[in-house]
Chains A and B, each alone.
Chain A
Amino acid sequence: MRALRAWLSRFGGLFGRRQRDRDLADEMESHLQMHIEDNLARGMTPAEARRQALIKLGGVEQTKESYRERRGLPFLDTLLQDIRFAFRMLRKSPGFTAVAVLTLALGIGANTAIFSLVDGVMLRSLPYPHSDQIVYFGWLDKSLIPDLSVPEFEFFRDRATKFAALAGFQGYGDQELSQGGTKRWITAGFVTDGFFETLGVNPRLGRLFGREFTRPGAAYAAVLTDSLWRTAFAADPNIIGRQIILDNQTYTVTGILPSGFKYTQHADLFTSLHLGSNMGNNGLNTDVIGRLKPDVSFSQAQAEAALLGAEFFAQASAEQHQGSGVLHLDRLQDYLASDYRTTLLMLLSAVGLLLLIACANVASLLLARAGARQKEVSVRLALGATRSRLLGQFLTEGLILGIAGAAVGLAGAVAVLRVFVSAIPWDLPSIDRITLDGRVLLFTSLIGIGASIAFGLASFFQTRKLDLNSTLKDARGVVGASRTRASLLNALVIGEVAISLMLTLGAGLLLKTLYNPYQEKLGFNPEHLVLMHTPFRSSMSDANVWNFERNALARIQAIPGVQSAAIVSVAPLHGQGNLPAQRDGHPEDSIGGTEYRPISSNYFSTMGIPVLRGRAFEQSDFSSSAPVAVINETLARDWWGSQNPLGDRIVIGEYQGRQYLPTPQPPLQIVGVVADVKGMLLNRPAPAMVYVPALQGLAINGSTDWLIQTSAPAGLAAALRKAITDVAPDQRIVDLEPMTQLISASVAQPNFEALLMGTFGALALILTLVGVYGVLSFQVVQRTHEIGIRIALGATRGNVMRLVIVRATTLAVIGVAIGIGAAFGLARLMASLLYQVAPTDATIFAAVAVLVLAVAMLASYIPARRAMRVDPMVALRHE
């Protein structure tokens, strides 16, 4: 207790220093005076009295000093002093401070933001209870798509024993909600029973719907989100059990979801899927998720899924169903994040490298500064400063730089993360919840602070070799050469150049991947094409659809400025729609999900898709019922190889129950082969595709895409809308946009990645610029004397400039060489992010190498000019 009391009192002694000093001085003074008076009384002379009193006291200053040490906490006192001094030093060179702090802040901020992103997407669990028990079912090796068909889903659901719940999800769709006279468009998610049970979500009101709502012909059920319930139904609790109208179809509201519920995308409500009631159920269109029973391990569930998958293939006879696949489980979290894993890893590496560059930069700045401060250090040593005191001082400066960097970095990270999250083009349940991660911030801050302290230390150890005499005598303020520092600085420059080369290279490769789609054979000409999308009510029959389309097409074609107009079930890059298909009589040639496109007769000419063999559809195909098809190049190559597919036939398959029907539709005669066109994704090869005349087609997508080739877009939108509503007054029109815009949208994700990488690359270059500039400037200052002599001895300005530039070039070239070597090593990480660009693309490598070298040259320009302008008289006079 006493000790604590004394410590507190000593801590208090750190403050109010002046008052206490005055007190002590007064006390000493009165002590001396009393002693002197006594001495005088004993008969000493005034001078002797004073002298004796001072001797007896042992020196006023010594007493004060030991008193002060007792009064406060000496180490804390020193620390405060160091901090004050450090701030003064940093304020005195604002350029250095700003660059060092910003550099660190950049590294720390970017790392914190990206780590938080990775944490939110990959590490933190999904926002559902016991989310590690939620799994995703997918086919491996069956087709390009892992999704299941509805019959497959039912097959597994009815047999699986390891799952507490299993459910199917068929994406989202826009539907029209009618309430009395008012109509509003809402987004619905289509799910089977068990969907919310699988996610572990309980309704806040009412109940979830059961299987009775998913049988063909049954009533439809709807579960509303909290927000729709509040906005459209005024949070009326009596809504439960009532009927609502969506697309002229009645749905019974069974429950309200808790607020904040989200699956992969925004939805206003979820409706019950009727399984097996329409053609769409035959495609691979169902995401199947399940929740493990509490006592079941993931591997047990995995084993059961594999078994069921094999059983499914065994049950379908060879003729009815071909191909094979393995039913595979993923944790839902991993499945949802899998698309972004590589991106995130790449971003992580990128920011990691950026932090390295930042640290290298601060290091080179500190080292260079340590050189410039040698004189100051020598003076302080000569005045009696101890080495440990100097060490403390350097440490404090490093610490303050690091902390300032971390603080600015935190502010930056908050802002950057906000931008990131709003710009992320990813569909994930957890995206809205991504927040700044405290642990990450702590970690990166420690790295940054650690780096600045470490290099503060390094610069301190430089001073150990300091020879006081020579430094003080050397009027130039810096010692001639510290070899270790010179080589350390060179190593830092080389490392920085190498790392920024790698970052810029990564950015360059991604940018080229991004650029490629524009060069990529889309398979059609997007110029002068306008896209329009019309979703149908589910009540619309196939025949009605074609009637509506034909009439509207005629009106659109009559619009002035419209050269041509066509329809297709799904335009390229706008989605997918697939059905099982088989080459007639060749069960070995079947595809579970062949892209299927009902089109109007002039679709190919409107799109500019060349017909390679045979013919396009003709008007006669739209009036006769002779079933015909046009296939794309990929399908022709896959099934016919070098043979001629014309005249051969294909079958569009159909499930009934769990069996393939051999001929659900009459086989289609192939009348033509057209060039490949992209499917849903720009960065994937064109899928196998079958085109049929819209009259004969099955409206599996429930909507039509309109493609209008036109030269006069002004006023076009209104005219198009009028053409549609003239035919069908209630028809909804969405996505009216130029085709080129759709292309940009489909590169949004690579865009985002390239944007980030581009930013990191640019930052790396800027940091390198600063780093190289700092080191070279320092070296020029260091060599001022030598340069002066050279000039005095007749070196031309050009020679001097070359001296600096050659040094910069040498370092940069070494750095570039190392960076290129390392980039080759990292090629594999990049490969999966690139499309049609080799990770060792020679053009990009060359371009980036030149760019980095140019940056190094640029960085050396100012120091070189400074060297060139050295006045020999001034430089030598310093001697």
Chain B
Amino acid sequence: MTDKASDKSNYKSSGKTSDKTDVQQGTLALMILKTLASMGALHGYGIARRIEQTSGNLLSLNYGTLYPALLKLEQEGYIASEWGLSTNNRKAKYYKLTRAGRRQLEREAQEWEQTAAIVARFLSPEGERT
């Protein structure tokens, strides 16, 4: 986790079915970066939809939380935005990864894998024995 999740931007999606997981802010940033890396330039709605699809609809993403996250990444210089036209000829703001963003994605992905591996070892039966 590179950023602490703030109370305000992490809206609980009450009323949804409980088997869907809430997305934490830092994780969301990683997902956005990864999505942009694989899809190229994309608008906010497209990113949201793509994240949901990639998660196999297991994630409950409140689309509104996406925009502050996008702004934060843009402020940090990992992504850049530009107004363009969507496939339906609608005006939309397109986000794309910068070079710094690409490096950040590699770094974060690595960290995430490491963390996941460590946690996995703790949870595996062998980890318990030692």
Interface residue? A538 (CB, 8 A): no
CB distance from B106 to the nearest CB of A (A): 15
Contact of B72 among A27, A34, A70 (CB under 8 A): A70
- Contact in complex: B71, A58 (CB < 8 Å): no
Mark the stretch among A60-68, A358-366, A756-764 that contacts chain B: A60-68
- Contact in complex: B71, A70 (CB < 8 Å): yes
- Contact in complex: B90, A30 (CB < 8 Å): yes
Given contacts A34-B43, A34-B92, list 20 more A-B pairs with CB under 8 A.
Answer: A5-B75, A5-B76, A27-B93, A30-B86, A30-B93, A31-B92, A34-B45, A34-B86, A38-B49, A56-B63, A57-B64, A58-B64, A58-B65, A60-B64, A62-B11, A62-B64, A67-B68, A69-B68, A70-B9, A71-B71
Interface residue? A794 (CB, 8 A): no
Map CB proximity to A onto B35-69 as digits: 1 under 8 Å, 0 otherwise. 00000000111100100000000000011110110
Residues of B within 8 A of A6 (CB): 72, 75-76
Residues of B within 8 A of A60 (CB): 64
Interface size on B, residues (CB 8 A): 26
Interface residue? B130 (CB, 8 A): no
Interface size on A, residues (CB 8 A): 29
CB distance from B112 to the nearest CB of A (A): 18
Residues of B within 8 A of A26 (CB): 91, 93
- Contact in complex: A66, B68 (CB < 8 Å): yes
CB distance from A30 to the nearest CB of B (A): 5
Residues of B within 8 A of A56 (CB): 62-63
Interface residue? A482 (CB, 8 A): no
Interface residue? B127 (CB, 8 A): no
Interface residue? B4 (CB, 8 A): no
Residues of B within 8 A of A62 (CB): 11, 64
Interface residue? B129 (CB, 8 A): no
Interface residue? A10 (CB, 8 A): yes
CB distance from A36 to the nearest CB of B (A): 10
Smallest CB-CB A-B distances: 9 pairs: A63-B64, A58-B64, A9-B75, A70-B68, A58-B62, A6-B75, A34-B45, A30-B92, A31-B45
Map CB proximity to B onto A31-54 as digits: 1 under 8 Å, 0 otherwise. 101110110000000000000000
Interface residue? A2 (CB, 8 A): yes
Residues of A within 8 A of B88 (CB): 34, 37
CB distance from A10 to the nearest CB of B (A): 6
Rounded to whole angstroms, the CA-CA distance of A5 and B76 in the bound complex is: 6
Residues of B within 8 A of A2 (CB): 76-77
Question: Of all chain B residues, which has the CB nearest A56?
Answer: B63
Mark B residues whose CB is within 8 Å of A: 8-9, 11, 43-46, 49, 62-65, 67-68, 71-72, 74-77, 86, 88, 90-93
Residues of B within 8 A of A9 (CB): 74-75
Question: Of all chain A residues, which has the CB nearest B88?
Answer: A37
Interface residue? A59 (CB, 8 A): yes
Residues of B within 8 A of A37 (CB): 88
Question: Of all chain A residues, which has the CB nearest B68?
Answer: A70
Rounded to whole angstroms, the CA-CA distance of A811 and B76 in the bound complex is: 63
Rounded to whole angstroms, the CA-CA distance of A71 and B75 in the bound complex is: 8
Question: Of all chain B residues, which has the CB nearest A32?
Answer: B45
Question: Of all chain A residues, which has the CB nearest B61?
Answer: A56
Residues of B within 8 A of A57 (CB): 62-64
CB distance from B17 to the nearest CB of A (A): 14
Map CB proximity to B onto A9-22 as digits: 1 under 8 Å, 0 otherwise. 11000000000000
Rounded to whole angstroms, the CA-CA distance of A641 and B63 in the bound complex is: 111
Question: Of all chain A residues, which has the CB nearest B87?
Answer: A34
Q: Which among B64, B74, B75 has the highest number of chain A CB atoms within 10 Å? A: B64
Check A30/B91 contact, CB under 8 A, given A5-B76, A10-B75, A58-B11: yes
Rounded to whole angstroms, the CA-CA distance of A38 and B45 in the bound complex is: 11
Question: Of all chain A residues, which has the CB nearest B8?
Answer: A66
Can you name 14 A-B residue pairings with CB atoms under 8 Å? Answer: A6-B75, A27-B92, A30-B45, A30-B93, A33-B90, A34-B45, A34-B46, A57-B63, A58-B63, A59-B64, A66-B65, A66-B68, A69-B68, A71-B71
Rounded to whole angstroms, the CA-CA distance of A39 and B92 in the bound complex is: 18
Residues of B within 8 A of A30 (CB): 43, 45, 86, 90-93
Check A34/B67 contact, CB under 8 A, given A5-B76, A70-B72: no
CB distance from A21 to the nearest CB of B (A): 13
Contact of B63 among A10, A31, A67 (CB under 8 A): A31
Rounded to whole angstroms, the CA-CA distance of A38 and B64 in the bound complex is: 17
Question: Of all chain A residues, which has the CB nearest B62?
Answer: A58
Residues of B within 8 A of A58 (CB): 11, 62-65
CB distance from A559 to the nearest CB of B (A): 95
Residues of A within 8 A of B45 (CB): 30-31, 34-35
- Contact in complex: B90, A34 (CB < 8 Å): yes
CB distance from A629 to the nearest CB of B (A): 99
Residues of B within 8 A of A67 (CB): 67-68, 71
CB distance from B65 to the nearest CB of A (A): 7
CB distance from B75 to the nearest CB of A (A): 4
Question: Of all chain A residues, which has the CB nearest B69?
Answer: A70
Residues of A within 8 A of B43 (CB): 30-31, 34
Residues of B within 8 A of A59 (CB): 64
Residues of A within 8 A of B93 (CB): 23, 26-27, 30
Residues of A within 8 A of B92 (CB): 27, 30-31, 34
Tell me the chain A residues, 371-419 only, with Cβ under 8 Å from chain B. none
Residues of A within 8 A of B71 (CB): 67, 70-71
Residues of A within 8 A of B68 (CB): 63, 66-67, 69-70
Rounded to whole angstroms, the CA-CA distance of A66 and B9 in the bound complex is: 7
Check A66/B75 contact, CB under 8 A, given A30-B43, A37-B88: no
Residues of B within 8 A of A10 (CB): 75
Residues of A within 8 A of B72 (CB): 6, 70
Residues of A within 8 A of B11 (CB): 58, 62
Rounded to whole angstroms, the CA-CA distance of A35 and B93 in the bound complex is: 14
Residues of B within 8 A of A24 (CB): 67
CB distance from A140 to the nearest CB of B (A): 75
Residues of A within 8 A of B90 (CB): 30, 33-34
Residues of B within 8 A of A70 (CB): 9, 68, 71-72, 75
Residues of A within 8 A of B75 (CB): 5-6, 9-10, 70
CB distance from A52 to the nearest CB of B (A): 11
Residues of A within 8 A of B86 (CB): 30, 34
CB distance from B48 to the nearest CB of A (A): 8
CB distance from B87 to the nearest CB of A (A): 9
Residues of A within 8 A of B46 (CB): 34
Question: Of all chain B residues, which has the CB nearest A27?
Answer: B93
Rounded to whole angstroms, the CA-CA distance of A57 and B48 in the bound complex is: 10
Rounded to whole angstroms, the CA-CA distance of A66 and B72 in the bound complex is: 11
CB distance from B100 to the nearest CB of A (A): 8
Tell me the chain A residues, 225-266 only, with Cβ under 8 Å from chain B. none
Question: Of all chain A residues, which has the CB nearest B46?
Answer: A34
Rounded to whole angstroms, the CA-CA distance of A26 and B92 in the bound complex is: 8
Question: Of all chain A residues, which has the CB nearest B86?
Answer: A34
CB distance from A764 to the nearest CB of B (A): 53
CB distance from B123 to the nearest CB of A (A): 32
Residues of A within 8 A of B44 (CB): 27, 31
Rounded to whole angstroms, the CA-CA distance of A251 and B17 in the bound complex is: 112
Question: Of all chain A residues, which has the CB nearest B92?
Answer: A30
CB distance from B3 to the nearest CB of A (A): 10
Rounded to whole angstroms, the CA-CA distance of A5 and B64 in the bound complex is: 24
